[in-house]
Structure 1
Amino acid sequence: MKQAAAIVLALGAATAQAQSSVAIYGIVDAAIVGDRGGSAGNLTKVTSGAGSASRIGFRGSEELGGDMSAFFTLEAGTKIDTGEIDAAGTIFNRQALVGLKTAIGSIALGRQYTPYHTTLVNIVDPFNTGYAGSSKNLFPDSGTNIRTSNTISYASPRVNGVDGEAFYSAGEQSTIRAGRQFGAAIGYATGPLTVRLAYNSKNSDVAANGATPAVNRTLGRNTLLGANYNFGWIKVNLGYGVDKGDNAAPLGNPNNPYGGVKPTASTDGRDYLLGFSAPAGPGTVLGSVMHKDDRTGFNQDANAWGIGYLHPLSKRTSLYAAYGHIHNKNGAGYTVANNTESGTGNTGYNLGMRHTF
């Protein structure tokens, strides 16, 4: 009987293990980064996450039966150059979510990426919002445009090439609309073509608190249309964005990086990107040109371009080099960024190494 019981317990444990899984994953990325052209002068430093933000994460799932499963993700950002957490006072600042997946889609709750950001990363930008050629140089990909807390999201399955996603982030203030954010995306993919349209709406109001009066602002709205087409010998990327309202397009570096009159964040702008990636020897060449059309009275337009090369040493390890430059007009304050830093000048370069596990 004892032997039979032991066999039953062992089989039960094996079955449970087969129905659930937990994985540890991460990225270790460090680079020599140079900033040129800003009031801070020429800076050269070692930076963590110039290509892809360094991180360690845990993800898992459990089969619940009836085509339903539970899943979770906990992801912490790290600084390879110092060994610190990349956001003080946090642990899983990058992602922290739990959800259910069914045949009709997935629902998740927690801290998550916005559809605007995932469209920019996966469809529009050949640099995937990293390196010195990042779309962050001109597109408003920062703060809660990237990820939001207190979020409920839904992602549909792909049917005949079409899929969609939506999210709602609660501001959790005494006025329900204050601080809330919501958005959605719909996409189509078939063969070498991928197209996606994303929308983001952000309320930057602050509800009254005791004797402190309420702060009311216009809605910040971002609309992004992206597409790419893989010809085999080259992949072409296109992006067009419309940004309107308060805090729709905050400057990556708001600290007056060029001195003089402080630049003003656009509340009515258009963003354009044309990019490519192409095989070159064992690696890949990346490139893009961008334009910011500021339609406010400040008319602070900007043009930017970037070039990069990714050289794999193995499936998990690669070296990279990237260069970016921005031409600001009428006192605009756009800076050459990378995946984790907003930059301090109008020219920048990265020489780095990236390992995934």
Structure 2
Amino acid sequence: MKKSLLALAVLGAFAGVASAQSNITIYGVADVAIERFKTDPGASTTRMSSGVQSGSRLGFKGTEDLGGGLSASFTLENGYDISTGAAAQGGLLFGRQAWVGLNGGFGSVKLGRQYTPIFGALDSIDPFGTGMTGDGSGIIAVFRPYGVRMNNTINYSASFAGFNGQLAYGLGEVAGSSSIGRQIGASVGYNNGPITGVFAYHDQNTATAAGVDTGNARTMLLGGAFNFGVAAIHAAYADNRDEGATGLRTSRSRDYMLGASAPIGAGSIMAAYVRHDDRFAGGAADADYWQLGYSHSLSKRTNLYTSYSIIKNDGAATFGGAAAGGDASWINVGVRHRF
């Protein structure tokens, strides 16, 4: 009896919140695939993988009009593994996103756990939308997204006449230092009609779990896409530079992507080639990444998909989870439902 009364009280509390702020949205993605993963040298594994095309999630978002052109907004987004029911993102309750912000004529300011601007830039130009291939990684199986998300982030964004921009600062929160563990990200994009273009920059101070400075990692990214109607072309270029705590260069590389996508009936086909060009170890860590995929819509919210992708690593490269110099390949068939 007590449990029933408690359940009714909880439901009543949620109903009160919903009536007070009726523009709260509950949304999500349920995505799962049967996947064959193989490393060479090594053995193949057939497995059920969650979130291959889009990460499986359950989210809550909403806005409140504060008057005078000002509004408040929030997003709380949980990631989960649909194949086991376990929490994703290391078990975090809202590991995908957790932020609150204010919006107005000045743009938007958001505080909390958020996507890095460089990840958003990659997602906007990847034919696969940073998913579906390479164990669900898309372009970021090779290109750097810097963890995809940043904790303790202050993000400012604005858009005007097809242009959009972001500036993000992630607090390192190390006592006695404002630089150890901090991250700085920025992007400027243009999206109007058939043209998409983006420039992004990320600077991350690397540190140990104990807060010891280990150096800096930096990436500059330039990318774009053009939709001809019958098909679209996609391209990206990134320059990566790493330094140790003493300021000495520890690595230098460049990444390239050339891809295409095209609608076919109720679906679409995507293909891309990615090249990692090692500029520090004499080319010993080069890699080539080929991707091919197809998505077929069953409705506005449900689709089937399949893809094949392979990463071929040179001597010191380990992309895709392969041993140094080994290859990694994926074949998957999956279903995604958005609600």
Q: Is TM > 0.5 for Structure 1 vs Structure 2? A: yes
CA contact (8 A) 1:325 1:348 kept: yes
1:127-142 equivalent positions in 2, closer than 5 A: 127-132=128-133, 134-141=138-145
1:330-349 equivalent positions in 2, closer than 5 A: 330-335=315-320, 346-349=328-331
1:301-340 equivalent positions in 2, closer than 5 A: 301-335=286-320
- 1:294 to 2:296 alignment: no
Cα distance change on mapping 1:325 and 1:45 into 2, 3 Å: same
Q: Secondary structure at the match of 1:135?
A: helix
Aligned equivalent of 2:206, options 204, 207, 221: 204
Deviation of the 1:267 alpha carbon: 2.3
Deviation of the 1:270 alpha carbon: 0.3
- 1:281 to 2:265 alignment: yes
Residues in 1 aligned to 2:163 and 2:289: alpha-carbon distance in whole angstroms: 32
Deviation of the 1:246 alpha carbon: 4.9
Unaligned runs of 5+ in 1: 1-15, 248-265, 338-343
Deviation of the 1:160 alpha carbon: 2.8
Cα distance change on mapping 1:89 and 1:131 into 2, 3 Å: closer
The structure where strand makes up a greater share of residues is 2
Unaligned runs of 5+ in 2: 1-17, 245-249
Residues in 2 aligned to 1:84 and 1:316: alpha-carbon distance in whole angstroms: 24
**Residue identity matched to 1:245:** D
Partner of 2:96: 94
1:107-256 equivalent positions in 2, closer than 5 A: 107-122=109-124, 124-132=125-133, 134-141=138-145, 144-156=146-158, 158-174=159-175, 175-206=177-208, 215-246=212-243
Residues in 1 aligned to 2:184 and 2:26: alpha-carbon distance in whole angstroms: 30
CA contact (8 A) 1:336 1:346 kept: yes
**Residue identity matched to 1:313:** L
Deviation of the 1:191 alpha carbon: 2.0
**Residue identity matched to 2:167:** A
CA contact (8 A) 1:309 1:321 kept: yes
Deviations, residues 234-277 of structure 1 (Å, cap 9, x unaligned): 01111001111159xxxxxxxxxxxxxxxxxx821100001111
**Residue identity matched to 1:215:** V
Deviation of the 1:137 alpha carbon: 2.5
Deviations, residues 35-63 of structure 1 (Å, cap 9, x unaligned): 11344411110011111110000000000
CA contact (8 A) 2:276 2:288 kept: yes
Residues in 1 aligned to 2:140 and 2:196: alpha-carbon distance in whole angstroms: 21
- 1:353 to 2:328 alignment: no
**Residue identity matched to 2:293:** G
CA contact (8 A) 2:312 2:327 kept: no
Aligned equivalent of 1:59, options 43, 58, 61: 61
Q: Identify which of structures 1 and 2 has the higher relative contact order when contacts are C-alpha pairs closer than 8 Å and 6+ apart.
A: 1
Q: Percent identity?
A: 41
Task: Give the alignment's Cα RMSD to 1 decimal.
Answer: 2.3
Aligned equivalent of 2:51, options 49, 52, 56: 49
Deviation of the 1:17 alpha carbon: 5.7
Greater CA drift, 108-117 or 32-41 = 32-41
Residues in 1 aligned to 2:232 and 2:128: alpha-carbon distance in whole angstroms: 12
CA contact (8 A) 2:205 2:213 kept: no
Q: Secondary structure at the match of 1:245?
A: strand
Residues in 2 aligned to 1:131 and 1:246: alpha-carbon distance in whole angstroms: 32
Q: Secondary structure at the match of 1:116?
A: helix
Q: Secondary structure at the match of 1:203?
A: strand
CA contact (8 A) 2:181 2:213 kept: no
CA contact (8 A) 2:286 2:314 kept: yes
Q: Secondary structure at the match of 1:335?
A: helix
Deviation of the 1:87 alpha carbon: 3.2
Question: What is the TM-score normalised by the length of structure 2?
Answer: 0.86
Question: What is the TM-score normalised by the length of structure 1?
Answer: 0.82
Q: Secondary structure at the match of 1:217?
A: strand
**Residue identity matched to 1:316:** R
CA contact (8 A) 1:274 1:289 kept: yes
Greater than 3 Å deviation, 4+ residue runs: 16-20
